[in-house]
């Protein structure tokens, strides 16, 4: 899922406020994910891969050219279901 950076936090906050949201403890980051190379599905430029600075311990990809974040369903779910007070953890 390609989400514009300008709306990313609003989408996460909206999903976190859902009445059926279930919290789950974040799992450690898999360091191998930091070495992946992803191309933007929109412009095909190489994306930046890094640990998301918010909760969830998720490695995400950003396209600087398109100003968008690339997340798969499980990554968005990890971010939304993580308690907000958890800092990123690494393996």
Whole-number mean pLDDT of the chain?
87
The residues of the chain scoring below 50 in pLDDT are: 86-88
Question: pLDDT at position 60, please?
Answer: 93
pTM of the entire predicted model: 0.77
Q: What is the pLDDT of residue 85?
A: 58
Whether 20 is covered by a domain: the verdict is: no
So what's the pLDDT on residue 63? 97
Number of domains in the chain: 1
In a domain, 71, yes or no: yes
Cβ atoms 89, 29 nearer than 8 A: yes
Phi, psi of 33 (to 5 degrees): -65, -25
Domain containing 76: what range? 2-13+35-81
61: in domain: yes
Note the pLDDT of residue 35. 93
* Position 72 in a domain: yes
Distance CA(1)–CA(76), nearest Å, equals 9
Q: How far is CA 86 from the centre of its chain?
A: 14
Residue 24 in domain: no
């Amino acid at each position: 899922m390609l989400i514009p950076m300008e709306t990313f936090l609003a989408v996460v906050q909206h999903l976190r406020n859902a009445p059926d949201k279930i919290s789950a403890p974040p799992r450690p980051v898999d360091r191998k994910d930091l070495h992946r190379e992803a191309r933007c599905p929109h412009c095909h430029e190489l994306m930046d891969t890094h640990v998301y600075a918010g909760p969830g311990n998720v490695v995400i990809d950003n396209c600087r050219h398109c100003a968008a974040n690339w997340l798969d369903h499980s990554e968005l779910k990890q971010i939304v279901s993580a308690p907000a007070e958890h800092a990123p953890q690494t393996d």
